[in-house]
Structure 1
Amino acid sequence: MGIENRKSLDILFKPRNVVIYKASEKIDYFLAGYKEQNYNINKLYLVNSEKEEIFGLKCVKSIEDVPENVIDLLILSIGRNKVIQELKKLLFKKKINTIHIFTAGMGESDEKGKGIESELLEILNDKNLNTRVIGPNCMGVYCPEGHLAYEPAFPTEPGNISFVFQSGDLHSQTIRIGARRYDLKYSKGASIGNCLDLQISDFLQYYNEDSATDIIGVYFEGFSRHHPDEGRKLFQTLKTMDKPVLFINGGNTKRAQKAILSHTGSISSNQRIWGAIVKQTPIIDVPTSMDDMIDYLYLFSTYINRFKKNRNKLSEVVYPKGKNVLLILWSGGFGIIDTNMLTKLGLKVPYFDGPILKKLREIYPIKIGSLAN
């Protein structure tokens, strides 16, 4: 990952200041989440020209009243018809490092929404800006170390699991239920919606280099219509991942692919392409179930935490380099069940024949059981 991209994501997850533009009571969960995570309230600015305060926090009338020369994270919470006008004004008046466009009703809704997204991208492509964006149509970021959360129920203690999801509610539910069911702890999370600018591949590259992340969970719906090269970029990124990537592909059926168009407006990949990606990259293909994702996270988290505890002489966790798995079991039934499970996960269980099988029979001459499978 390039230095500038890494710096932008560092700022996104650990902003020195946050501005919520057009703040209102409707997003009280953001304020409650920031308070619960103990974010520095003196660096949280609410811009609303009609309110004196919201839930005990004072508001400023305009962006000019924010006493910061550089805004690290701006959360844009306005109706879609005003997004273009307001964004231009904000970028003209302040240097903004990262923007979370909370606004929905964009490319996932209709042709007008698609047009608004295209205009937004044109503005952001100005090379002099160097402003990175998540969204639109997303919940935003979560980072206990950065004291950020868009919900008060998220754990405050940091862990080693990081997420990038194209569904805000699924992201929230996975975090909450995983914490409640298995006491899972998290490093970072991003609900990124329609992927106007920052893509899933950007977050994967960042997490792969992030020392606080050991396990990565992904919920993928498809590629942004604005970034036709993202498929190739994601494939190349997945091939080089050093950490476990637990991946849910939401577009498993034609009917689901239609639903995706009205959810995040993404272009989903067909199953044949997805099957090739699973075979050629080290990702773990998780069934399309939140419960399965949480169980997988618990399994990997437990293993890695035990490994670190018992192998503290190692500076880092060492992961398997390939997908080949050898099973040594007494029971043929368990061997079949385990083979099914491992194969569905994208791992390879060898079938022995020829010279290898002959050599194994010399080592293990007992006639009980089978050495072939």
Structure 2
Amino acid sequence: MTAVSAAVPALDYIFHPRSIAIAGVSAKETPGFGGGGFVQSLQDIGFRGPIYLIHPTAPAIRGIKCYASLADVPDDVDYVISSVPARLVPQLLEDCIKKNVRVLHLFTAGFTETGDAERAKMEQTVVARAREAGIRLIGPNCMGLYVPAARLAMMQEQIPEAGPVGMVSQSGMNAGEFVRYAIPRGVRCSKVISFGNGADLKAADFFDYFADDAETEIIVAYLEGIQDGPRLARAVRKAGAAKPVVILKSGRTEAGTRAASSHTASLAGSLQIFDALCRQAGAIRVESLEELVDTAVAFQFVKRLAGPNIVVVGGGGGASVLAADDLDAAGLKLPALLPETQEALAKVTAEAGTSIRNPIDTTSLWLEGGFEATLRPCVEASNADVVLMHTAFGSGISSRFGDARSRTAQQVEIMKKLQEESGKPIVVAIRSSTQADGFTQTLEFQELCWRAGIATFPSIARAGVALANLLRWQAMHD
């Protein structure tokens, strides 16, 4: 990867507002959706600056004083969130111009995405007027920004802990879902952008920004359409030359293309052409939101693989057989264990009902002293590039061997030690539980793992695909 510029990217100011005004907040006290939702989200994450609410009649909402118009706010405002109806946006924009606002986030929908020519014309007029006045628009029809370090949130329960993953998304829901799925697995974000129709600031602008942003080490994206194809191609190539880029592209089918057009007025474009762009840019295209999260986990925690050879260890013969198929299908290799590895495993593995071939099917992981005695030979094997340990909670083998919580804490410490000593990644696949306590234990174990720097996945198959994506990216950049 090339070095990232130390200069502050030109768009950096939009991610660090000093004050925010929200126009179109309901007088009802419930957070709800839209303006009230943004108020709640900003309060929950602890936005440090003043929040001004614009409402024609309410004196205060959620303990915050209201103003009849943006012009009535006595202080400077540099960022405005619009939740007013589309017909009121032109006047709100004029108020923003008079107030020297720098950024207008249009949560407001009802523009080009409706397919109505007059509404599309109104969107174009708003963009032209904003550009003339030097105001940047995010949207319309979007959730805007989640910036943990700046205490900006687009949805409730978004945490202030920042990390290396930046996201560009045309969909607010998919941006929110990415964050919701990623946080329990340890992925932390630098900035997440939902830009909707992209009438002014488009995907290309944000790829350009992330390429130069020192806080972003990994870029993920959800795109529905191609806006200004040549410029987007240049921006993705620039970002791909600087850091990992992983893209989920919708509109891959005729039905998806229609849905993209009605959602954000997007023209999906040829998937073949988009794949060619990804190859040229050294970017990875994935097939689902789950794969996008899994691949982000691999880049943040695994970081790099020396090769495709994987050793799998866990309990359950059927799971082991399926693991071999799933991992081979993903493009990984399951080498035969070396004689010295098998010899070490034989000392701690019972003969009946187990296997010390690869995948390794054993109960020794749950015996006193057995976890390290089983895992260490796998990690130290010269023909292993990564070790995958699979497990489950609430039923099965792990439930038969004493206190699961104290045992798993010890297991995580051992995995952390072995990973640090060997420099070889250990990843964990935690099969889902159907029991409440098992589900709770899964979440607890998952957190212990990622806090120890160990990547976790919800299945062996998903781990395999994510690791293969990491290898594919390495092959394009080495």
Number of residue pairs aligned between Structure 1 and Structure 2: 319
1:283 equivalenced with 2:283 (yes/no): yes
CA shift for structure 1 position 339: 6.0
Task: String of CA shifts for 1:273-295, please: whole Å, max 9, x gaps.
Answer: 112112211111111x1111111
Q: Are the counterparts in 1 of residues 284 and 469 from structure 2 also a CA contact under 8 Å?
A: no
TM-score (norm 1): 0.78
**Pairs within 5 Å for 1:207-218:** 207-218=210-221
CA distance in 1, matches of 2:261, 2:20: 31
CA distance in 2, matches of 1:136, 1:191: 10
SS at match of 1:158: coil
Is the radius of gyration larger for structure 1 or structure 2? 2
Aligned twin of 1:317 = none
Q: Are the counterparts in 2 of residues 11 and 73 from structure 1 also a CA contact under 8 Å?
A: no
Are residues 52 and 201 of structure 1, via their aligned partners in 2, closer, same or farther at CA, if it must alter by over 3 Å? Answer: same
CA distance in 2, matches of 1:260, 1:38: 34
Task: String of CA shifts for 1:14-39, please: whole Å, max 9, x gaps.
Answer: 10111112322453221121112211
Aligned twin of 1:17 = 19
CA distance in 2, matches of 1:183, 1:347: 21
CA distance in 2, matches of 1:86, 1:38: 26
SS at match of 1:113: helix
The letter for the 2-side match of 1:232 is: P
Percent of pairs with identical residues = 29
The equivalent position to 2:62 in structure 1, one of 46, 55, 60, is: 55
CA distance in 1, matches of 2:256, 2:221: 17
The letter for the 2-side match of 1:161 is: V
The letter for the 1-side match of 2:170 is: Q
Aligned twin of 1:292 = 291
Q: Are the counterparts in 2 of residues 327 and 349 from structure 1 also a CA contact under 8 Å?
A: no
CA distance in 2, matches of 1:223, 1:5: 27
Q: Are the counterparts in 2 of residues 162 and 188 from structure 1 also a CA contact under 8 Å?
A: yes
SS at match of 2:101: strand
Aligned twin of 1:35 = 43
Aligned twin of 1:134 = 138
Aligned twin of 2:375 = none
SS at match of 2:191: strand
CA shift for structure 1 position 255: 1.5
1:231 equivalenced with 2:229 (yes/no): yes
CA distance in 2, matches of 1:130, 1:348: 41
The letter for the 1-side match of 2:23 is: Y
CA distance in 1, matches of 2:331, 2:286: 16
1:78 equivalenced with 2:84 (yes/no): yes
The equivalent position to 1:44 in structure 2, one of 39, 48, 51, is: 51
SS at match of 2:211: helix
Aligned twin of 1:202 = 205
Aligned twin of 2:350 = none
The letter for the 1-side match of 2:219 is: I
**Pairs within 5 Å for 1:310-325:** none
The letter for the 1-side match of 2:16 is: K
Task: String of CA shifts for 1:23-65, please: whole Å, max 9, x gaps.
Answer: 2245322112111221135x11111121111111111222222
The letter for the 2-side match of 1:45 is: Y
CA distance in 1, matches of 2:276, 2:136: 31
Q: Are the counterparts in 2 of residues 286 and 345 from structure 1 also a CA contact under 8 Å?
A: no
The letter for the 1-side match of 2:234 is: Q
1:97 equivalenced with 2:97 (yes/no): no
The letter for the 1-side match of 2:210 is: Y
CA shift for structure 1 position 335: 6.7
CA distance in 2, matches of 1:348, 1:158: 26
Aligned twin of 1:146 = 150
SS at match of 1:240: helix
CA distance in 2, matches of 1:131, 1:161: 27
**Pairs within 5 Å for 1:153-302:** 153-180=157-184, 182-224=185-227, 230-241=228-239, 242-287=242-287, 289-302=288-301
CA distance in 1, matches of 2:249, 2:301: 24
TM-score (norm 2): 0.61
SS at match of 1:133: strand
CA distance in 2, matches of 1:293, 1:329: 21
The equivalent position to 1:108 in structure 2, one of 108, 113, 116, is: 113
Any stretches of 5+ residues in structure 1 without a counterpart? 225-229, 308-319, 351-373
The letter for the 1-side match of 2:298 is: L
The letter for the 1-side match of 2:94 is: K
**Pairs within 5 Å for 1:301-312:** 301-304=300-303
Q: Are the counterparts in 2 of residues 285 and 346 from structure 1 also a CA contact under 8 Å?
A: no
Are residues 82 and 349 of structure 1, via their aligned partners in 2, closer, same or farther at CA, if it must alter by over 3 Å? Answer: closer
CA distance in 1, matches of 2:5, 2:254: 36
The letter for the 2-side match of 1:98 is: V
CA distance in 2, matches of 1:202, 1:349: 27
SS at match of 2:66: strand
Q: Are the counterparts in 2 of residues 329 and 335 from structure 1 also a CA contact under 8 Å?
A: no
Q: Are the counterparts in 2 of residues 99 and 131 from structure 1 also a CA contact under 8 Å?
A: yes
SS at match of 2:46: coil
CA shift for structure 1 position 349: 6.8
Are residues 326 and 50 of structure 1, via their aligned partners in 2, closer, same or farther at CA, if it must alter by over 3 Å? Answer: same
CA shift for structure 1 position 240: 2.1
Any stretches of 5+ residues in structure 2 without a counterpart? 313-323, 334-464
